[in-house]
Amino acid sequence: GESVGLHLPTLSVQEGDNSIINCAYSNSASDYFIWYKQESGKGPQFIIDIRSNMDKRQGQRVTVLLNKTVKHLSLQIAATQPGDSAVYFCAENINQAGTALIFGKGTTLSVSS
């Protein structure tokens, strides 16, 4: 299963499926975007980032897509594994020293075997 387009608070997929998690960001001046994974009771863990001069960036099993026209960010996870189960947040920043990350709403990803 996968979700495209709108932000969903929860996403349930089967192990091995591809997952797509969406995020709409708010500030048109933002030019640095990051996806974080947060497991229960822990701090956010960096997954992948992208700067506004790019529209796609790939990592290991993950891809981030950026659409500045509609202020939309997505995270694609290939071959989702049970260990990917967590809450995923996007964050934005105006790429200026001393400025904080602003977090979007999270999506809880549940992966069943």
Partner 1 sequence: GAVVSQHPSRVICKSGTSVKIECRSLDFQATTMFWYRQFPKQSLMLMATSNEGSKATYEQGVEKDKFLINHASLTLSTLTVTSAHPEDSSFYICSANEGWSTEAFFGQGTRLTVV
Q: Residues in the site for partner 1, rule: CB under 8 A?
A: 32, 34, 36, 41-46, 49, 89, 93, 95-106
39-45, long-range: CB within 8 Å, 24+ apart, which pairs? 39/86, 39/87, 40/86, 44/89, 44/91
- Shortest spacing between CB 9 and partner 1, in angstroms: 9
Looking at beta carbons only, is 17 or 31 nearer to partner 1?
31
Q: What are phi and psi of 62, to 5 degrees?
A: -125, 150
- Shortest spacing between CB 16 and partner 1, in angstroms: 27
Looking at beta carbons only, is 4 or 97 nearer to partner 1?
97
Looking at beta carbons only, is 29 or 79 nearer to partner 1?
29
Q: Are the C-beta atoms of residues 101 and 90 closer than 8 Å to each other?
A: no
Q: Rounded CA gap, 53 and 36, in Å? A: 20
Looking at beta carbons only, is 6 or 100 nearer to partner 1?
100
- Shortest spacing between CB 88 and partner 1, in angstroms: 11
Q: Rounded CA gap, 71 and 68, in Å? A: 5
